[in-house]
Chain A
Amino acid sequence: MSRWKESADGYDMADTETSTKIEEKPAAPVFGSCPLPIFSHPQIVLGHGSGGKLTADLIEQVFLPAFHNPVLDKLDDQAVLSIGGARLAFTTDSFVVTPIFFPGGDIGRLAVHGTVNDLAMSGARPLYLSAAFILEEGLAVDALRRVVESMRAAAAQAGVQFVTGDTKVVNRGKGDQIFITTTGIGVLEEGVNISADRARPGDQIILSGYLGDHGMAIMSQREGLEFEGAITSDCASLHGLVAAMLSTPKTDAAEFIHCLRDPTRGGAATTLNEIAKRAGVGMILREESIPVRDSVKGACEVLGLDPLYVANEGKLLAVVAPDLAHAVLQQMRQHELGRDAVIIGEVVAEHPGMVLMKTQIGGTRVLDVMFGEQLPRIC
């Protein structure tokens, strides 16, 4: 028998913990007796890994209550620790991508760049990485060699070394070829103080290049979709670009670069929302200034996805004080990974915690955080 039928005989919402929300709204008497289904997912669903609201729920309801401390509670992509007079950035990330080889990269390269980028977004110089491999029985050793070679090359390029690691093998069918976890340590120079809560009204929002390349490259490959003009992942280590930004001439750049984030899962919209909420500020973006390649835009249109919510692996968003924004932008454009950098919007005091976008047609919409996996629409 269905829950609707049972509830039709007097399921009383007043018994549930959400009933207080109804009472706050006096116009809602009828809903007090509405037989509402409650979906709190008693088991993990894919959306819990999307980087959106379900992920945030999991962190708030499961991890934070158990682990909370002043460093973790900041919920930045990395922890900044002071040890013996040195300031260290410390982070970890797991990689579970399918397929493991994709246009523009592979899981190994991603595992290096992802962790290096999490360190770089604090302004740190990445130094050392660890790597833990979970391998599925039956994985070709040649495939593993290719992944490892790719990690070696990426680490060499990023100037970091693998200094420790671990390997486990699981039964066939209990993993998906290869899962990699990398952990990284970097060092912060004096005066660098970059954090999501430093965004201030008037700050300019800079995006380092085209949005959505990585996510759409993976999706086209995974689903066997063929789009005109191949889409390749933007997978890259961003610490060089960050170093270039921090060395913007004429002034103490470190002081003026308030926040840096790489918009990975959940995309640029989710990342900007996190900054807006953390700093208690609003944001206004201009849709026509946001660079999206035609191939990515086209693929997103076909699938009913929004490039602002698609993952990137080699892009950063910077929130920079207005006086220095154009100097930082020029500095970024000198760097290979920032050639297409552009100012896409501004931090404002109004509507704190909300990101608005002026649309191309002249309307306005709110960009909220993604709530789960982005799903292709039916038509």
Chain B
Amino acid sequence: MKYLDEYRDGDVAKKIVGEMRRIQTRPWVLMEVCGGQTHSIVKNGIDHLMPEGVELVHGPGCPVCVTPLEMIDKAHAIARQPNVIFCSFGDMLRVPGSDGDLFTIKSLGGDVRIVYSPLDCLKIARANPDKQVVFFAIGFETTAPANAMLAWRAREEQVTNVSLLVSHVLVPPALEAILQSPSNRVQGFLGPGHVCAVMGYREYDPISARYHVPIVITGFEPLDILHGTLMTLQQLEQGRAVVENQYTRVLGRDGNLPAQRLVNRVFEVGDRKWRGIGNIPMSGYHLRDEFAQQDAEKLFDVAEIATLEPEICISGEILRGIKKPHDCPAFGTLCTPQRPLGATMVSAEGACAAYYAYGRHLKPELHQIVPQSPPLATNGVIT
């Protein structure tokens, strides 16, 4: 398929991996920041292609995973109310709060709907003037413009029964939190392609310089990830640490300026809690005061809800790249996508969920058994 197959070409992949092997002189630990990148790595088995000693650890960039339990409990408290239509992106429905998930609330009579665009909420609100339509506005900078547009249009078009429960987080403060951690292992980053498509990548220059760490803004297809990894390795081997852009077909240094203007008019930056990590100063968006009428946290009586995270779950360490899903004894046994215990199992983009979905709980030593399997007897050989 056009624009897909070109980025999944096994021959090109071999060449890139060959080049990595040629230049690599020592082990390196890289982090892919985005949940979408983690998903692609595990779905395509890219980590099995990496040269020995090039380790990819999975970053905090899964918006569903890092939404704090407390915010999920607030969402559930709102969704349970009889006059509410609660709208959400699909993969948020399975995320458990302290007492069940949105599927459970739906099965008990709550009106919970999956939307593909936040703006669908305007249509739903107009069709249901006697109901309060609440959108669960989560995500990184990627989803911020569309979410901001919902608040903006609701106010401009005076659709008074739409509001947003906002739990928006930002990538750069999370990278700094990872780099400042005494247990940090990460030596280079595959930067978040879609976040930078909105924001550009100027704000990563000071981080790269301050911590002397290469950041290569990278796409999501298998060859993007391999190419981004190669570019990061080249910097590390040469002792350089700058921001580079692998994803040139999608983004430039400045990003999407009209989108940034809209986001800044609707949101302001403030402190945010991250599931599994805790509070990070100035790490998220909040609705500005002039959008108080669109702020579900103010409209509904949920401010009192405060939930503690379980202390022992290792998802925080996984989100910071210190541990991998296999390091958790509950992985795949007690903790599954059906009954997630921690942040990284709750969304399809979370590292644990990605590992689980692609069967890593079944055979952690998968890469060892595959080569022993006989080749296909058909018109192709598995090697």
Interface residues of chain A, those whose CB is within 8 Å of chain B, are: 2-5, 7-8, 18, 21-22, 25, 27-28, 30-31, 33-41, 43-47, 53-54, 202, 204, 223, 225, 282, 284, 286, 288-289, 294, 297-298, 301, 303-304, 306, 322, 325, 343, 345-346, 348, 350-351, 354, 356, 358-368, 371-372, 375-379
Q: Is the CB of B99 within 8 A of A30?
A: no
Q: Is the CB of A366 within 8 A of B362?
A: yes
Contact among B106, B349, B360 for A45, CB-based, below 8 A? B106
> Is residue B309 within 8 Å, beta carbon to beta carbon, of the partner chain?
yes
Complex interface: chain A residues within 8 A of B14 (CB): 362
Q: Is the CB of B358 within 8 A of A366?
A: yes
Report the Cα distance A99→B378, complex, angstroms.
Answer: 40
Interface residues of chain B, those whose CB is within 8 Å of chain A, are: 1-2, 4-5, 8-10, 13-14, 36, 39, 42-49, 63-64, 69, 73, 89-94, 96-101, 103-104, 106-108, 114, 116, 138-140, 142-143, 194, 222-223, 305, 307-313, 329-330, 333-334, 336-341, 347-349, 356-360, 362-363, 366-367, 369-370, 372-374, 376-380, 382
Interchain residue pairs with CB less than 8 A apart (28): A2-B308, A3-B98, A4-B69, A22-B334, A34-B310, A34-B312, A34-B330, A39-B104, A44-B107, A46-B107, A204-B378, A223-B116, A304-B348, A322-B377, A325-B377, A350-B372, A354-B359, A360-B44, A363-B48, A365-B44, A366-B359, A375-B90, A376-B116, A378-B89, A378-B90, A378-B138, A378-B139, A379-B140
Assuming A25-B329, A45-B104, A377-B39, what are 6 further A-B pairs, CB within 8 angstroms?
A286-B382, A301-B4, A350-B369, A365-B42, A366-B366, A379-B139
Task: Give the A-B contact count at a CB cut-off of 8 A.
Answer: 230
Contact among A25, A294, A367 for B333, CB-based, below 8 A? A25
Q: Is the CB of A361 within 8 A of B49?
A: yes
Contact among B107, B366, B380 for A286, CB-based, below 8 A? B380
Contact among B8, B116, B310, B358 for A36, CB-based, below 8 A? B310
| With known contacts A36-B341, A38-B339, A350-B373, A378–B63 Cβ distance under 8 A | yes
Complex interface: chain A residues within 8 A of B104 (CB): 39, 41, 43, 45
Report the Cα distance A44→B103, complex, angstroms.
Answer: 9
Contact among A35, A304, A346 for B377, CB-based, below 8 A? A346
Report the Cα distance A284→B372, complex, angstroms.
Answer: 12
Q: Is the CB of A371 within 8 A of B382?
A: no
Contact among A2, A39, A362 for B338, CB-based, below 8 A? A39
- Chain A proximity of B259: nearest CB distance (Å): 14
- Chain B proximity of A270: nearest CB distance (Å): 13
Contact among B103, B138, B223, B382 for A358, CB-based, below 8 A? B382
Q: Is the CB of B139 within 8 A of A367?
A: no
Complex interface: chain B residues within 8 A of A363 (CB): 44-49, 222
**Who on chain B is nearest to A370 by CB?**
B357
Complex interface: chain A residues within 8 A of B103 (CB): 45-47
Q: Is the CB of B10 within 8 A of A365?
A: no
Q: Is the CB of B338 within 8 A of A54?
A: yes
Complex interface: chain B residues within 8 A of A46 (CB): 103, 106-107
**Who on chain B is nearest to A379 by CB?**
B142
The 7 closest A-B CB pairs, nearest first, are: A363-B45, A366-B359, A28-B329, A2-B98, A375-B90, A376-B90, A362-B10
- Chain B proximity of A292: nearest CB distance (Å): 8
- Chain A proximity of B37: nearest CB distance (Å): 12
Contact among A30, A47, A362, A372 for B312, CB-based, below 8 A? A30
Complex interface: chain B residues within 8 A of A346 (CB): 374, 376-378
Contact among A37, A297, A304 for B341, CB-based, below 8 A? A37
Report the Cα distance A356→B358, complex, angstroms.
Answer: 9
Q: Is the CB of B44 within 8 A of A376?
A: no
Report the Cα distance A176→B140, complex, angstroms.
Answer: 37
Complex interface: chain B residues within 8 A of A306 (CB): 43
Q: Is the CB of B94 within 8 A of A53?
A: no
Report the Cα distance A366→B373, complex, angstroms.
Answer: 14
Complex interface: chain A residues within 8 A of B373 (CB): 282, 284, 348, 350-351, 356
Q: Is the CB of A371 within 8 A of B336?
A: yes
Q: Is the CB of B362 within 8 A of A354?
A: yes
| With known contacts A366-B358, A375-B90, A34–B341 Cβ distance under 8 A | yes
Complex interface: chain B residues within 8 A of A359 (CB): 8, 43-45, 222
- Chain B proximity of A229: nearest CB distance (Å): 11
Q: Is the CB of A365 within 8 A of B358?
A: yes
Report the Cα distance A275→B142, complex, angstroms.
Answer: 41
| With known contacts A25-B329, A289-B378, A378-B63, A2–B310 Cβ distance under 8 A | no
Contact among A31, A35, A303 for B330, CB-based, below 8 A? A31
Q: Is the CB of B312 within 8 A of A33?
A: yes
Q: Is the CB of A36 within 8 A of B334?
A: yes
Interface centre among A345, A361, A379 (most CB of B within 10 A): A361
